[in-house]
Amino acid sequence: MDIKADSSLRGEMRLSFDIDRATWDAELRRHPAALQQDWNYGEALVELGADVRRVSIEDDQGRLALAQITVRKFAGLLTLAVCTRGPVWLRELDAGQKGQVIRLIKRSLGLSWPRVTLMTPDDVVPPAGLSRVMTGYSTVLLDLNQDLTTLRAGFDGKWRNRLNAAEKSGLKSAQNSVKLAQYRWLLQTEEGQREERGYKATPAALVPAFQTATGDRDSLLILRADQGREKIAAMMFLIHGCSATYHIGWNSETGRKLGAHNLLLWQALDELKNRGVVQFDLGGVNTTQGAGLARFKIGTGGEVVTYCGTYF
């Protein structure tokens, strides 16, 4: 289905709900994007019971943007549609043009009233003509187009010192199997951490659903540090298109003392580069409630980005 609208972009703008997976995946192999806009992430949400819509926006010069949107009903009445960290922009557009695209998406979803449609674009400059309802999300992005020598030189001095110490500590590190039976322990540990510390995150069941949707074991990277026969730290990364996202981290007291996460993250950068990743998203930073984790992420030398917010 195509929906047309007048536009100051290059000719008439068209929105289609009929984009296929191969086209979507090909675009995200060329354009770094957030995990939440990955086709397989959407399929994982469907597996967990969500209603996911995907749209492609084009003009006379080709495709402008992609948007993956999750739709939920509340109390059987209110329809809430959320495009998290999207649309994915495939061409350079200004704030006014981005606002046009977002408004076209919102009015073309065909949702019944009462409805609310929220967009949280990965933009620093706000799209024009929309109302902000929530402040922006902050994350750390690391450019993996750099070689390893340059990446290591970009680490904060204290971060690099902890890495040096971890490399000399005798820690053993290795890739954990990505068979569910072999990494279920990490998912269970993560759920225990959430309950103990009182924070919320995506359900642990999303990881095997995401892996099943990709049909590719290379979409998941798990690194583990051991001292003797004892696991002392682990990190999990999800790979999507030409991007990767830090998803889960666990550290024992011994692991923290020895700098295990510094070692595992450093080794992950090498492996992610080998798998063709060009943008690494270390995840949200909160210097108030998670100052230690924020310092760890910022210490990698990545770019701290605060996006413009959530728009109605």
- DSSP, collapsed to helix, strand or coil, labels residue 251 as strand
Q: What is the mean pLDDT of each run of 10 residues along the chain (312 residues)?
A: 43 89 97 97 94 95 96 89 97 95 92 92 95 94 98 98 96 94 93 71 86 89 94 97 96 96 98 97 84 94 96 94
Domain ranges, ordered by start, for the chain: 2-130, 139-311
User: Computed over its alpha carbons, how large is the radius of gyration of the chain?
Assistant: 20
pTM of full prediction above 0.85: yes
d(CA 76, CA 34): 30
pLDDT of residue 4: 41
d(CA 301, CA 279): 13
Long-range contacts made by residues 200-206, C-beta under 8 angstroms, separation at least 24?
A: 203/48, 205/48, 206/41, 206/44, 206/45, 206/48
- DSSP letters, 14-51, are EEES---HHHHHHHHHHS---GGG-HHHHHHHHHTT-E
Task: Work out the angle at residue 74's Cα, subtended by the Cα atoms of residues 53 and 114, and round it to the nearest 5 degrees.
Answer: 80
Fold of 2-130: Aminopeptidase (3.40.630)
pLDDT of residue 8: 47
- DSSP letters, 137-155, are PEEEEEETTS-HHHHHHTS
d(CA 9, CA 13): 7
What pLDDT, in 10s, does the model give residues 92-142?
999 999 999 999 999 899 888 899 999 999 999 999 999 999 999 999 999
d(CA 250, CA 232): 8
pLDDT of residue 116: 95
* E strand segments, 208-242: 220-227, 230-240
| CA dihedral for 114, 88, 200, 222, sign (positive or negative) | positive
Fold of 139-311: Aminopeptidase (3.40.630)
pLDDT of residue 287: 75
pLDDT of residue 200: 65
Query: Are 2-130 and 139-311 in the same CATH fold?
Result: yes
